[in-house]
Structure 1
């Protein structure tokens, strides 16, 4: 397993939270955002099983690490003006870039590719978790704003 500093581990853990929350907040609703938060949480807690040989993911999201409390998954500190201006997605992309710069040269290209897939999966799971309408039950799960955010994140991650 690759050794990362505590600060590097925090950057690796922050990126999926930032990407997922950015997608949730571009089209916010009280109920739908709660449903989307659950979808993001599920991605974070099951990714280690999906990528058992990935040193990046295992170093932050393995059951052992999560239970130890060594890494605290924290909600990103987005400002209301970032949400209103749309800069929230740009900030999430910067967070992803920071995490990717940490793992560059420390992880294999395959592991980095899997980590990028995981980041996108977090955004996609959030976008597809709840629709518009009463209690997030609308048939159109991905709003126009979420679709734009997903496209921007996908292009940046090149997944």
Structure 2
């Protein structure tokens, strides 16, 4: 934890959150959005356990870190026009870049690779949480819009 400033830790936490939120908002539905939020929460809650040897994830997503930083996390400033125009995805890509800058030189390449995969997996978990349509009951779990958004994130993460 001492390797990272509070601002850097904020960036590390924000990137996967914004990726998940962006994926959820490209295909909004009444029930599906709730299912996707639950999937995102599950990913974040399980991060420290899934990556016990990753110093980045432990510093930002361990139970102690989440409790410490809960009150300090900035609430995202989401504007309807950003969701409709796709600018929210651009903002999430900028958040990815900021997070990767924060960990550069402070973590091993293996830890950074795992962290990148974790960010992407957050988006995939959200996309796969519900089917297409208003109630999330559509046949396809990952909509065309979600797949396109995930593809953009994959490029931004260098995966």
Describe the superposition over 1:25-51 as per-residue Cα deviations: whole angstroms up to 9, x where unpaired.
Answer: 011112111110000010001011111
2:95 maps to 95
The TM-score, its normalising length taken from structure 2, stands at 0.93
The TM-score, its normalising length taken from structure 1, stands at 0.93
Which structure 1 residue ranges, 4+ long, deviate > 6 Å from structure 2? none
Please identify, of 118-127 and 133-142, the stretch whose mean Cα deviation from structure 2 is larger: 133-142
Change in 2 beyond 3 A, CA 1:109/1:76: same
1:53 maps to 53
1:85 maps to 85
Note the residue ranges of structure 1 that are not aligned, 5 or more in a row: none
Q: Distance in 2 between matches of 1:71 and 1:53?
A: 23
2:8 maps to 8
1:69 maps to 68
Per-residue deviation at 1:76? Answer: 2.3
Q: Distance in 2 between matches of 1:97 and 1:130?
A: 28
Q: Distance in 2 between matches of 1:2 and 1:77?
A: 28
* Alignment size in residue pairs: 158
2:22 is the alignment partner of 1:36? no
Describe the superposition over 1:90-116 as per-residue Cα deviations: whole angstroms up to 9, x where unpaired.
Answer: 110100110000000000000000000
Please identify, of 114-123 and 72-81, the stretch whose mean Cα deviation from structure 2 is larger: 72-81
Note the residue ranges of structure 2 that are not aligned, 5 or more in a row: none
State the Cα RMSD in Å: 1.5
1:108 maps to 108
